[in-house]
């Protein structure tokens, strides 16, 4: 049992890893002994976050704009120069948008869908050779997509493109899981309310009410997100694929 949740020595990529949920996951992986690459669109923020995590273990910055296929190709090329295999890919990079229905224009849809859905697809597709090099039927490589509880139900906010994109991520996860087995598992984590830049304004205004409505009566903590992704990346999660796991204190399934 001592190595059931062990990910020491694995090489992991966390997109959107410089802040928010991505940073929570990256930190958990680094502290658990993984060799971690974080990617984000803003090079300075990416480098700063990697430097901070390097004090805890092994972490490198690889800035990339994953809202385009060319950006994903660039990330894959950079990783291919440094590694011959990748054990874990966490597709976390994402964007949100909220506006009244009449103001939800094509640009807002493109901004969100290009990163949240196409970015997940193209990044996974282009890193497949490195994932396939690491995965076996006994110990598959892992793809972990970050969805959202707002992909399960109709949100209170008018964030049409965001909630639609996360529902798409959940379905894309299942589709890829069917195709990429047995040497790669593909699962999604659907976070609920966590302290992050994306959620800051909502939690400032409604945080107490959101926590009160959840069966577990609190907002998510960094170790909640690190824990579920370490489970999926470790031997403990090797027989799980095509799952969408809500990590939300019960909001999506009971409220």
CATH number at residue 155: 3.40.50.720
pLDDT at 155: 84
Residue 252 belongs to a domain: no
CA distance 90 to 101: 32
Residue 5 belongs to a domain: no
CA distance 46 to 42: 6
Query: What Cα–Cα distance (Å) separates residue 183 from each residue in 35, 45, 228, 240?
Result: 20, 34, 20, 12
Check: CB of residue 27 under 8 Å from CB of residue 226.
Answer: yes
Residue 82 belongs to a domain: yes
Residue 215 belongs to a domain: yes
- Digit-by-digit pLDDT tens for the chain (255 residues) are 779 999 999 999 999 999 999 999 999 999 999 999 999 999 999 999 999 999 999 999 999 999 999 999 999 999 999 999 999 999 999 999 888 998 989 999 999 999 999 999 999 999 999 999 999 999 999 999 999 999 998 887 899 999 999 999 999 999 999 999 999 999 999 999 887 766 666 677 777 888 888 899 998 999 999 999 999 999 999 999 999 999 999 988 887
- HSE value, Cβ hemisphere, 13 Å, CA-based, for 117: 20
CA neighbor of 64 nearest in space, from 76, 52, 53: 76
Domain assignment of residue 41, given as a range: 11-245
CA distance 79 to 124: 13
Residue 254 belongs to a domain: no
pLDDT at 200: 67
pLDDT at 199: 67
Residue 251 belongs to a domain: no
Residue 2 belongs to a domain: no
pLDDT at 176: 98
Residue 255 belongs to a domain: no
Tally of domains within the chain: 1
Compute, in degrees rounded to 10, the torsion defined by CA atoms 51, 53, 58, 62: -60
pLDDT at 183: 98
Alpha helix (H) residue ranges in the chain? 20-31, 43-54, 69-82, 106-113, 119-134, 160-180, 200-213, 222-233, 251-254
Catalytic residues: 162
pLDDT at 190: 97
């Amino acid at each position: 049992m001592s190595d059931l949740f062990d990910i020491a020595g694995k090489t992991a990529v966390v997109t959107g890893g410089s802040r928010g949920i991505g940073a929570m996951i990256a930190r958990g992986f680094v502290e658990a002994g993984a060799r971690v690459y974080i990617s984000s669109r803003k090079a300075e923020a990416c480098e700063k976050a990697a430097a901070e995590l390097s004090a805890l273990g092994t972490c490198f910055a690889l800035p990339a704009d994953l809202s385009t296929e060319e950006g994903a190709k660039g990330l894959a090329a950079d990783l291919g120069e440094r590694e011959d295999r990748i054990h874990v890919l966490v597709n976390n990079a994402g964007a949100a948008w909220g506006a009244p229905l009449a103001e939800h224009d094509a640009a807002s849809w493109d901004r969100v869908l290009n990163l949240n859905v196409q970015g997940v697809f193209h990044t996974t597709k282009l890193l497949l050779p490195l994932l396939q090099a690491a995965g076996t039927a006994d110990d598959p490589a892992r793809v972990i997509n970050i969805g959202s509880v707002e992909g399960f139900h109709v949100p209170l906010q008018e964030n049409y493109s965001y909630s639609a994109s996360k529902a798409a991520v959940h379905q894309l996860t299942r589709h890829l899981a069917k195709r990429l087995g047995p040497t790669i598992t593909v699962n999604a984590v659907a976070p609920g309310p966590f302290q992050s830049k994306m959620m800051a304004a909502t939690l400032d205004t409604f945080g107490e009410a959101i926590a009160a409505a959840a069966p577990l009566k609190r907002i998510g903590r960094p170790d909640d997100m690190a824990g579920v992704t370490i489970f999926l990346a470790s031997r403990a999660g090797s027989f799980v694929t095509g799952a969408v796991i809500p990590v939300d204190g019960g909001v999506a399934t009971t409220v």
